[in-house]
Structure 1
Amino acid sequence: MNTLDKTPVTVLTGYLGAGKTTLLNRILSENHGKRYAVIVNEFGDVGIDNDLVVDADEEVFEMNNGCICCTVRGDLIRIIEGLMKRRNHFDAILIETTGLADPAPVAQTFFVDEDVQSKTKLDAIVTVVDAKHLLDEIDKAHEAQEQLAFADIVLLNKVDLVGEEGLGEVEKRIRRINPTAVIHRSERCQVDLDNILGRSAFDLDRVLEIEPEFLKHFHDHDHDDHVASFSLLSDAPLDPERFFPWIQSIAQNHGPDMLRMKGIIAFADDDDRFVMQGVHMLLEGDHQRPWKAGEKRTTRLVFIGRDLPRDAFEEGFRNCFVQEGVAAE
C-alpha cells in the first residue's frame, strides 16, 4: 500500500496533568472537517478519561487492562485491526496514553506487526508538557523524561503561568533530553492543529528535510538526567559491512535503554543518503534520495536513552569508518 493511502496515527502522551485530555477534546471538537477514531488508555481497573472526552461523532475505544507498558501492544493490534475493517468511517486515529506510560510499546507496534504496518503509519508522537511544573517533576519522574525522549513534537503547555526566562530554562532542559523534537508553546492547549496533526513527523526523511541542522541543538553536555542524548558525526564515509553489524549490536545490547535513535548515513561508494531510526531494539532504514551536488556527505546519528555508554558508542562508530575522521558534539 502506498504511504499516502495509509491511515495516519497520532500518539498523545505526557505526564499527569499536563493537558493531554484537553488537547484531545480540542481536536475532537474543532471544526476541521476530519473524523477521528480514538483509542484511550487509562491506568488501573477503572478508566476516567472516557468520561472527559467530549461528546463527538468519533469512536472511542478504551483499554482498561492495566499499565500500557506491559499489556498494550496486543490490545492495540487487535483494536487497530478492528478499526481497519471500517476505515471508511474515519480519516485518522488518535491514541491517548496514560500519564504514567512509556510510549515505546505504542511506537513499536508500527514496526513489528505487518498488518498494522501495511495499513497505518505513525504520524507523530506528541508529548504535552506542563511548563510550570516540569522542572520540579522531571528529576523525580523518570516517566516524564522518557515521554520527552520519544517526542517528535512537544506541546509546551501552560506557558501563561511562567515568565519568559523560566520558559527558556524549561526549553533548555527539554533540548538536553531531546534535541530533535519541534517545540510549540500553548495556553490551555490552544495550538494550530496543523502544527501537530498530519505532520509526518515520525518520518525521518521529513524530519531531516525540515530540520537539516537538527544537531545544532547539541551544546549542553550536563549528564544529570536519567535520560540524555548525544550525537556522533563523521565526514568520513562509512563501511556498510562494518556499520550494520555495529548498529545491530547496539540495538541488541542496549535496546532496553536506547529509547530513540535517528540518523543519516553516508556510505562509501553510495550516491544515496541512507536514513535510519529506531525504538529500543527495533531498527528501520532505507535509502532516501541522492546526495545533492555540492552537499556535504556527513553522517549524523542521534542517540537518546538511559545512561548509554557514550565512549563505547564512539569507539564502535569510529571502527565503521573507511578512513579516520570523527567529530562528536
Structure 2
Amino acid sequence: MNSRHADGKVPVTVITGYLGSGKTTLLNHILSQQHGRKVAVIVNEFGEVGIDGQLIVQDDDEELIEFNNGCLCCTVRGDLIDTITRLQERAGELDAILIETTGLADPAPVASTFFVSDEIRDSTQLDSFVTVVDVVNLEKNLEQSVEAQEQVAFADIILINKADLATGETATRIERKLRQLNPLARMYRTVRGEVDLALVLNVNAFQLDAKLLVDPAFLEDHEHEHDPAIGSIVLRETQAIDMNRFMSWVTPLLQEQGDAIFRTKGVFNAHSFNERVVFQSVRMLTTMSRFDPWREGESRHTELVVIGRNLDRAALESGLARCVANGPGASAEREPA
C-alpha cells in the first residue's frame, strides 16, 4: 500500500460517525496495522476531557494531537488549520494524517477546510471520509439526529460496525436505508472496526463534485449549530470505584434514560484492579474491559464523560459518588470482559 498520493501530497483520512459508533476502535485498528508508517492522529471530542486520547494505542510512529475545547466543524477549525500547517514542517516524514471527529460533527465544514485554506491545500489531499455507523442504534440515531444523517450522506466509505450484533435481515435493512441516504458510498460490514486497510486508506475516494451535489454551499464559510439541549458532563472521582455498585447504578439509569443519555465513555480507577478499567455505553448497550496498567506513582482517578440531552449534573454526580468503594467491606468485583 503506497503512502502518498501520486502528486506527493499527504493523504488525509477523516473518520466520522455518530456517538458510540466505534470510531476510536477503528482508529486503533488502523494504527496497529501501520507497520512503521509515520502517521499524525488528530482527535476531536465533544467534552472538556480527552477520553479517546487515553484509549489510543501509540508508538514512536504516531503523533497524537487532541482538541477538547470545541468541535472541529465549529470553533476550532482555525486550530485545525494551524495544527496541519505545523505538521507541514515535518511533511517529509509523514505518510498520512488521520482525523477522528466528534460524534456530533457536521462533516462538510471539516472538508471545506482543506479547500479554503491556502496553508494546507497545496501539501495535503483529502483521501476519504470514512463514516462508522452502529448497526444496533443507527435507525434511532438517524431519526433523532441531523448530524447522523449528514455524516452518512457525506461519506465516501461507510463501515456498518457491530455487525455481529445484528441478524442478517437487520443488516440488510440497514444497508437499504443507508443506500437511500447515500447511493454512492462504498459499504463494508465490520466487527470491532476491523477492516482491510487497503479498503479505507489511500483510496482517493473523496470527489469534490460529488460532495457539492450533497451540499452545494459546503465550500462557503458557515457555522454549524448544535442542539443547545445536547451537552456533555464530566464526572470525576479520586477514590476507587466499586464496579459492581457502579453497574448496579448505571444499568437501570441507562434503561430508564436511554433516549436522553446517548453516550458515556470513561476510564475508571476500579477497586482491586491494577489496570485502568474502561466503561462505555451507547444508549442502553454497555461494555466494560481492562486497559493498560496504572504506572507506578501515577495518580489514579476516574473520569467519565456523559453526553446527552438535558442532563442532570447533580443527579449524575451523586450517583457516581455512591459507587465509591468503602475499604475492605467493598463487594467482590465484576470481572471485565
TM-score, normalising length: structure 1: 0.62
Q: 2:72 aligns with which of 64, 68, 73?
A: 68
Matches within 5 A, 1:127-206: 127-203=131-207
The answer to whether the 8 Å contact 1:104/1:279 transfers is: no
1:214-233 to 2 correspondences below 5 Å: none
Contact 2:109/2:218 (CA < 8 Å) preserved in 1? no
26, 29, 32: which one pairs with 1:26? 29
Identity of aligned residues (%): 55
Task: Give the gaps of 5 or more residues in structure 1.
Answer: 208-259, 263-276, 284-329
Q: Match of 2:287?
A: none
| Alpha-carbon shift at residue 279 of structure 1 (Å) | 5.6
Task: Give, in angstroms, the shift of residue 204 of structure 1.
Answer: 5.7
Out of 126, 129, 132, the position equivalent to 1:125 is 129
Q: CA deviation at 1:261?
A: 2.9
Q: Larger RCO: Structure 1 or Structure 2 (Cα < 8 Å, ≥ 6 residues apart)?
A: 2
TM superposition shift of 1:71: 1.3
Counterparts of 1:20 and 1:75, CA distance in 2: 21
Letter in 2 for 1:99: G
Query: Aligned letter for 1:103?
Result: P
CA–CA distance in 2 between the matches of 1:56 and 1:162? Answer: 34
* Number of positions where the alignment pairs a residue of Structure 1 with one of Structure 2: 215
Paired residues of 1:43 and 1:68 also in contact (CA < 8 A): no
Deviations 1:171-229 (A, max 9, x none): 11111111111101111111101100000000369x8xxxxxxxxxxxxxxxxxxxxxx
1:103 deviation in Å? 1.3
CA-to-aligned-CA distance 1:128-169 (integer Å, 9 cap, x gap) = 011111112210122111111110100111111111111111
Distance 2:143 2:28 in 1: 29
Q: Which residue of 2 aligns with 1:11?
A: 14
**Tell me, which stretches of 5 or more residues in structure 2 are unaligned?**
221-337
Which stretches of structure 1, 4 residues or more, deviate above 3 A after TM superposition?
none
Q: Work out whether 1:261 is the aligned partner of 2:261.
A: no
Residues 108 and 279, structure 1, Cα contact 8 Å, conserved in 2: no
Q: Is the 8 A contact 2:108 2:215 kept in 1?
A: no
Residue 87 (1) aligns with residue 91 (2): yes
Partner of 1:45: 48
**CA RMSD, Structure 1 to Structure 2 (Å):** 2.0
Secondary structure of the residue aligned to 1:139 is: helix
CA contact (8 A) 1:38 1:61 kept: yes
